[in-house]
């Protein structure tokens, strides 16, 4: 693991979203202050499926042959998509869970930057909250981006689906009297 020299900015890059907002914000921050920028992505090798008690799992091959190389490539693509191909970012993938990996990186960093936790990802909220308290440097968490208004087609589709569900629920069943209107 390459811990950044004193004064570097570390960006925790999500394996799902790529954290483009965090990368862009951190790049601007580091550039304005003459600091180095380190993009870090934690990865874990895939696990064998669980087996019933008292039986060994069936040996299977899940996931890529070289998960570190796959994570390295993914991180470089995310950084290039957010900052362009000619960026000067140190990219590093480290084996482990994101929280402990970023806590270790915080020892010499000036700042850690995280993308906004998505609504559905409870794990990301937990990681951000723990890191704010436990990191050895300040932590910036990007705000959640506002959701765009639903399209007219989506609104119409929801109305049609709701009407269809109500019609199906109110349809007669053999041997049962029909429901009175309004219930």
Tell me which fold the domain 8-46+61-141 belongs to.
Rossmann fold (3.40.50)
Q: Is the model's pTM score more than 0.95? A: no
Q: Which of 9, 66, 64, 70 is nearest to 40 (CA)?
A: 9
Q: What is the pLDDT of residue 106?
A: 92
Tens-place pLDDT, residues 28-53:
999 999 999 999 999 987 766 665 66
Residue 5 has pLDDT above 60, yes or no: no
Q: Taking the alpha carbons of 101, 124, 79, 142 in that order, is the dihedral positive or negative?
A: negative
Tell me the mean pLDDT in the region 109-124. 76
Boundaries of every domain in the chain: 8-46+61-141
């Amino acid at each position: 693991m390459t811990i950044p020299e004193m004064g570097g900015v570390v960006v925790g890059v999500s394996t799902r979203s790529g954290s483009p907002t965090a990368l862009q914000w951190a790049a601007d921050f580091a550039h304005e202050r003459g600091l180095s920028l380190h993009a870090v992505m934690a990865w874990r090798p895939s696990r064998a499926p669980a087996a019933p008690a008292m039986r060994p799992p069936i040996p299977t091959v899940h996931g890529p042959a070289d998960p570190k190389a796959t994570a390295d490539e993914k991180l470089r693509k995310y950084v290039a998509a957010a900052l362009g191909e000619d960026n000067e970012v140190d990219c590093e993938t480290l084996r482990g869970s994101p929280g402990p990996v970023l806590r270790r990186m915080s020892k010499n960093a000036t700042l850690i930057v995280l993308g906004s936790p998505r609504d559905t990802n409870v794990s990301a909220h937990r990681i951000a909250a723990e890191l704010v308290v436990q990191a050895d440097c300040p932590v910036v968490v990007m705000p959640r981006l506002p959701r765009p208004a639903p399209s007219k087609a989506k609104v119409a589709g929801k109305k049609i689906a709701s009407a269809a569900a109500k019609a199906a629920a109110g349809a007669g069943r053999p041997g049962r009297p029909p429901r009175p209107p309004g219930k």
